[in-house]
Amino acid sequence: MQLCPECKSDTVQRTSSTPLRVILCLILIFIIPFGLFFAWIPFVFPHTFECKNCGKQGNESELKQVDWREREMLLVNEKAFGNRLQPIMEYWFEQMGYLYKITMENHMFVLVKVSEQEVVAYHIHDLKDSNFLVQSLSGKLAVFTDTEFDWEPTSFGEKLFTSDEIQFIQNRDYSGLKDHLHKNTQLVQPFNVYEK
């Protein structure tokens, strides 16, 4: 079984085609003089993949090879990690002028950083002693698209926030969002965030 190296999901899809390589090889053999000597070139390039869960793209050599026993252990560890995060799931905290939301989407634990300038999603890898170890999902899964006048939530972003939270973020009303969270007692003690 092949797993995504970032989110450990098995929903990876090959994005390069072997039949296309065979066709290119045949074109090289029959069209180009001495093409037989160059026909192997299409097979040198590694196959690529895309994870349907987190959006990571890369070479298939980066995929993690596991058997069913290792996959079961990963699922047990993920469930234990989820149980540790459960008391603070869907809550917010403030750290260094940013608001962070702890949530889960696509079987992936996500930490979303919100400010008036940006909204960035991170994949949570670990939580130890009030320290989050995260990896950025920007470039892979956009939360909001920045239009000329406003921010529009993507389909992924709509799943991460409530409609009230989306409204505050679209209006870039950071202080209003903070007051809303205080009023609804959704702020918890701050955590430190470290990028992997």
Nearest Cα neighbor of 7 from 144, 122, 130, 177 is 122
Q: Indicate if 89 and 160 belong to the same structural domain.
A: yes
Assess whether 97 and 14 both reside in one domain: no
As to burial, measured by CB atoms within 10 angstroms (0-12 exposed, 13-18 middle, 19+ buried), residue 101 is buried
In a domain, 76, yes or no: no
Residue 178 inside a domain? The answer is: yes
Do 164 and 94 belong to one domain?
A: yes
In a domain, 127, yes or no: yes
Q: Helix (H) and strand (E) counts for the chain?
A: 5, 13
**Sheet arrangement for strand 48-51:** 12-14, 48-51, 57-59
Do 92 and 180 belong to one domain?
Answer: yes
- Among 32, 66, 100, which residue terminates a domain? 66
| Residue 111 in this model has a pLDDT that exceeds 70 | yes
Quick check: 7 pLDDT over 70?
Answer: yes
In a domain, 72, yes or no: no
* DSSP code for 61: G
Residues 36 and 131 grouped into a single domain: no
Q: Tens digit of pLDDT for each residue in 127-160?
A: 888 888 888 876 555 677 766 556 777 777 788 8
The domain total for the chain is: 2
Band (pLDDT 50/70/90 cuts) for residue 32 is: confident
Instruction: Give the span between the Cα atoms of 170 and 153, in whole angstroms.
Output: 8
Element (H, E) at 169: helix 163-170
Q: Taking 80 as the threshold, does the pLDDT of residue 185 lie above it?
A: yes
73 within a domain of the structure (yes/no): no
> Which of 33-37, 118-122, 142-146 is least confident?
142-146
Summarize pLDDT for 65-104 with one digit per residue, the tens.
888 888 889 889 888 988 888 888 888 988 888 889 998 8
What percentage of the chain carries pLDDT values higher than 70?
94
Largest CA distance in the chain: 75
Residue 95's pLDDT is 86
On whether both 88 and 57 belong to a single domain, the answer is: no
177-185: Cβ within 8 A, 24+ apart:
177/99, 177/114, 178/94, 178/99, 181/92, 181/99
Q: Is residue 10 part of a domain?
A: yes
Pair 136, 177 in one domain:
yes
Residue ranges making up the domain that contains 100: 82-195
Contact 108, 115 (CB under 8 A): no
Does 180 lie in the same domain as 98? yes
Q: What is the pLDDT of residue 172?
A: 80
- Structure confidence at residue 147 (pLDDT): 61
Which pLDDT belongs to residue 34?
82
Residue 91 lies in a domain: yes
| Tokens linked to 74 | 């990963």
pLDDT averaged over the chain? 83
- Provide the token pair at 49: 């993949």
User: Do 99 and 56 belong together in one domain?
Assistant: no
- Of 15, 36, 66, which marks where a domain is finished? 66
Could you give the C-alpha distances from 39 to 26, 44, 89, 158, 192, in angstroms and in order? 7, 10, 54, 48, 54
Residue 71 lies in a domain: no
119 and 188 both lie in a single domain: yes
Range 173-177 contact pairs with CB under 8 angstroms and sequence separation of 24 or more: 174/99, 174/114, 174/115, 174/116, 177/99, 177/114
